[in-house]
């Protein structure tokens, strides 16, 4: 990671770079807190977004929804309150671990580049580099959880009807997928997920640059603490920009992970989506997604910023 840079020395150390000196587990704990909190609050919107995304109009088994409100009411009527929270367990695990690892990796890489000086500005390129590397590492560790979460969200049932190809829960889903599809099944959607690394890189670069420039304009250190409203604003703007720019990969990824479809691979999914649905197919579920991810990101980031600051200050005392 960041191999093009000269390896910095740890201040007061032996002259050799020590990775552990820059690993702050407070970032992991704060990221987990933010991810879990936002997931518990907004999971139903995530479920609806996934169902919109995989609906290609050609699969008869899939329910048809008329808008966000219609989808919410239909799912609640047919599947009950629990139906709105299908897949919430792997989503909590996935979101919590993903945000935790992402913030841990990102801050470790960023601190490595800064040589431990958090007041040193990096600029857009290095921010994107750190975020992209953190995204790849996080995806490798969490992709199986996202596969199970997607499939649990796509188990359609009506009152009194048994689920076909059903999973009893996250652990059962992991076991069944591994038993029937092997490691390859657990990493369905990994290729478009790699493209999705650009989403996190763009989001974090925008977020960090806005914070830095805001503090510089106020003649303050770039790592100065902001207010809750300022964190919320920067998180929302950065997420909207990243989501609008990179949403198509999420549609392709969800369709590849959906056991109701059979695609030969990523390119086959892209071609069929374009052939039957044109460009609009790549943006199915964008509305519910933006309604979900914007407040989710705001909750995640403001929780992370406050919890990490509290834990880091606590560790100094």
pLDDT, greater one: 307 or 23: 307
Q: Is 12 a member of any domain? A: no
- The reported pLDDT for the residue numbered 17 is 47
- With 50 as the cut, is the pLDDT of residue 269 above it? yes
Report the length, in residues, of the chain: 317
Count CA within 13 A, CB hemisphere, residue 260.
Answer: 25
- With 90 as the cut, is the pLDDT of residue 134 above it? yes
What pTM was computed for the model?
0.71
Q: Is 186 a member of any domain? A: yes
Q: Is 10 a member of any domain? A: no
- Dig out the tokens for 282 from the structure: 């790549």
Q: Is 15 a member of any domain? A: no
d(CA 158, CA 79): 6
Q: Position of tokens 């995806």?
A: 139
DSSP code at position 248 = H
- The reported pLDDT for the residue numbered 230 is 94
d(CA 67, CA 100): 33
- With 50 as the cut, is the pLDDT of residue 2 above it? no
d(CA 208, CA 214): 10
Q: Position of tokens 């303050």?
A: 220
Report the domain count for the chain.
1
Q: Is 1 a member of any domain? A: no
Q: Is 8 a member of any domain? A: no
pLDDT, greater one: 138 or 263: 138
CB count within 10 Å of CB 152 equals 25
Q: Is 231 a member of any domain? A: yes
CATH number at residue 49: 1.50.40.10
Range of 83's domain? 20-316
pLDDT band at 11 (very low <50, low <70, confident <90, very high): very low
Q: Is 294 a member of any domain? A: yes
């Amino acid at each position: 990671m960041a191999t093009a840079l000269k390896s910095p020395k740890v201040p007061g150390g032996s002259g050799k770079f020590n990775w552990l000196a820059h690993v702050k587990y407070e970032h992991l704990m704060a990221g987990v807190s933010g991810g879990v909190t936002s997931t518990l609050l907004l999971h139903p919107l995530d479920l609806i977004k996934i169902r919109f995304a995989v609906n290609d109009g050609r699969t008869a088994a899939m329910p048809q929804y008329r808008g966000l409100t219609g989808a919410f009411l239909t799912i609640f009527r047919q599947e009950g309150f629990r139906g709105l929270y299908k897949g919430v367990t792997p989503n909590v695990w996935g979101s919590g671990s993903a945000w935790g690892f992402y913030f841990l990796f990102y801050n470790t890489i960023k601190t490595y580049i800064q040589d431990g000086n958090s007041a040193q500005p990096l600029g857009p390129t290095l921010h994107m580099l750190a975020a992209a590397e953190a995204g790849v590492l996080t995806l490798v560790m969490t992709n199986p959880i996202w596969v199970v979460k997607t499939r649990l969200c796509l188990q359609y049932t009506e009152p009194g009807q048994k689920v076909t190809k059903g999973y009893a829960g996250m652990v059962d889903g992991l076991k069944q997928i591994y038993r029937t599809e092997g490691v390859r099944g657990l990493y369905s959607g990994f290729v478009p997920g790699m493209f999705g690394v650009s989403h996190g890189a763009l989001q974090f670069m925008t977020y960090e640059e806005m914070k830095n420039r805001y503090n510089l304009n106020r003649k303050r250190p770039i790592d100065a603490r902001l207010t809750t409203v300022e964190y919320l604003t920067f998180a929302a703007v950065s997420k909207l920009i990243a989501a609008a720019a990179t949403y198509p990969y999420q549609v392709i990824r969800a369709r590849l992970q959906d056991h109701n479809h059979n695609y030969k691979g990523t390119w086959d999914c892209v071609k069929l989506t374009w052939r039957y649905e044109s460009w609009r197919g790549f943006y199915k579920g964008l509305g519910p997604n933006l309604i979900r991810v914007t407040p989710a990101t705001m909750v995640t980031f403001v929780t992370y910023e406050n919890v990490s600051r509290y834990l880091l200050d606590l560790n100094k005392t």
